[in-house]
A = this chain, B = another copy of it.
Amino acid sequence: MTHENLNRYLRSRRREIEAALDRWLSPGTGRPVSLVRAMRYAVLGGGKRLRPVLTLAAAEAVGGARARMRALPAGCAIEMIHAYSLAHDDLPAMDDDEVRRGKPSLHAKFGEATAILTGDALLTDAFAVAARTGRGIEPARTVRILSEIARAAGSAGMVAGQVRDLESEGRARPGRRVVETIHRQKTGALLRASVRVGAISVGAEAAELRRLSAYGDAFGLAFQIADDILDEVGDAALLGRPGGGDRAASKATYPAVWGIDRARAEVRRLAAVGRRSIQSFGRRGVVLGSLFEHVVDRAS
């Protein structure tokens, strides 16, 4: 897939995702105006939509392009959970970031109480959105999707990773296993779930799901390493915030443990794992392959 074709794909899918998010975050009966405003700021204010794009691409790999719309609620639910996690991570008691994507972070804009409550609302509403996957697929699959999302985001997933990350701060240089556990939980689990729920939404068989999980695993870890490399290299323009921040807080990152070159090699190794995992999907898996290449390119 050419760079241009991938970009065209991304633009088209992002449009679908943004339209769906816009619908689910519209003013509705009982929603306070101020809360809706803050939720929309947190979710609709930019972002690459990587997670729901993965969901749609996985659904297409299994069921073809037309099947993808069935995976849209699950993908949007995951994007809302991603947005909540950023809102809470930025809080003064956590990473204390005033800037996110080149704009004031949620609490900098609306105050701390609203930022906490907005995160809570996005996390909760995500499950109401995911429960609507039910339209058109068997309820048992919807239950499975909700369960996958909850486990990926919860006390043995994303939140666990954030807890470990905070606990590792300022400690002596962490070992590779610690760093990998943090990465797998903090960002890997939700990225992996993004791929899996897309496949489950369109009725993937066990073997297909296994292969896509391997892809999602490799993708999740590679993505985080690439992010840390970018941070280390300090490309402030791309990140929308000053580079080197993670090193400054002596956080657990691959480049800090291994150095940039070995971290880049690890991203390439993981990309090969990802490629192999989706080989059997043939042409239908091309988008997933290109998305992984895109991650590798970012880290190069």
Contact = CB atoms under 8 A, between A and B. Distances in A.
A76 to B, nearest CB: 14
A114 B94 CA distance: 9
14 contacts: A29-B156, A30-B160, A30-B185, A32-B164, A35-B155, A88-B117, A114-B163, A116-B116, A117-B163, A120-B159, A121-B159, A127-B150, A134-B140, A146-B146
A143 interface: yes
A293 interface: no
Quickly give the copy total for this chain.
Answer: 2
B131 A154 contact: no
Interface of A: 28-32, 34-36, 39, 84, 88, 91, 93-94, 111-114, 116-117, 119-121, 123-128, 131-132, 134, 138-140, 142-143, 146-147, 149-151, 153-157, 159-160, 162-164, 166-167, 185
Contacts of A138: 139
Given A142-B143, A157-B30, A116 B131 contact: no
A interface SS class: helix
B131 A143 contact: yes
B88 A120 contact: yes
A124 B150 contact: yes
A35 B113 contact: no
Contact of A167 (B32, B112, B146, B155): B32
A123 B150 CA distance: 9
A163 B32 contact: yes
Nearest to A111: B93
Given A124-B150, A150-B124, A113 B159 contact: no
A39 B155 contact: yes
A163 B120 CA distance: 11
Contacts of A139: 138-140, 142-143
Contact of A154 (B34, B111, B125): B125
Question: Which of A112, A140, A143 has the largest number of chain B CB atoms within 10 A?
Answer: A143
Given A28-B156, A139-B139, A159-B121, A116 B128 contact: no
Given A139-B140, A159-B35, A123 B125 contact: no
B121 A94 contact: no
A128 B113 contact: no
Contact of A113 (B39, B94, B117): B94
